Amino acid sequence: MSEATIEMIIIAASYGGIFLMMILNGAVSFPSSQVLYILVGYFIARGDLALVPAVIAGSIGNMIGNMILYEIARRKGIEYITRFKLFPPEITRRTEIAFKKRGAWFVFVGKLLPAIKVFVPIPAGIGKMHRGLFAAIMVVATSIWVLPFTAVGYYFGKSRDVFGAYAFVLLAIAIVVVALFFRYLKSSDVERELTALDEGESRHTNTPSAP
């Protein structure tokens, strides 16, 4: 979805458009929440939107999208999710292990990381995390996530030229944080868990069924 299309939806549907687009973002990570909220910040600066309802609409919408993915993972399992090839199977399995080891803390921190947040509902669903706790964390984390991008749009407008330098700083920070997180996902601690999981699945597959 292009920046122009997102802008047209906001103009036409206001908070309802933000709500619906963030449902999509929560379920399939599309459209970009970064671009969306830079434009939201721009419209807030113009006086067309207000900060609090714009953040609430997006946070609740994103939570609903996340809950859709959470429920699919909870009911169908990781094999069903990876079947559609929307999420890399290896990273999905590693995030599942990270969730088992870190629980709610992983869900909260993972939701704030650009390359990880899309995976967060999957291990939470598979691990049958309490629905109310999961939903609450999604709303809070999404509200925190969108604020910097809203500020960029508010102070710098929607111009890519003006946004460029600030975007570079945000991108640099995100790369460092995500790199550290991926380093954890590839750590020996996670590798041991992944190996044990593979061996357990292998034994289960090779065990002859009872006559």
Dist. CA 61–CA 89, nearest whole Å: 26
Q: Which residues contact 158 (CB under 8 A, 6 or more apart)?
A: 3, 7, 38, 39, 42
Dist. CA 40–CA 55, nearest whole Å: 9
pLDDT attached to residue 103: 73
Task: Provide the 10 A C-beta neighbour count for residue 142.
Answer: 26
What secondary structure letter does DSSP report for 210? P
Q: Which residues contact 182 (CB under 8 A, 6 or more apart)?
A: 115
Dist. CA 132–CA 115, nearest whole Å: 24
Tokens of 18: 């933000």
pLDDT attached to residue 210: 47
Size (the chain), residues? 211
pLDDT attached to residue 39: 93
Angle between helices 131-156 and 104-111 (to 10 degrees): 20
pLDDT attached to residue 110: 82
Amino acid at 32: S
**pLDDT tens digit sequence for 127-150:** 888 999 999 999 999 999 999 889
Enumerate residue ranges in the chain where pLDDT < 50. 209-211
Q: Which residues contact 194 (CB under 8 A, 6 or more apart)?
A: 93, 94, 97
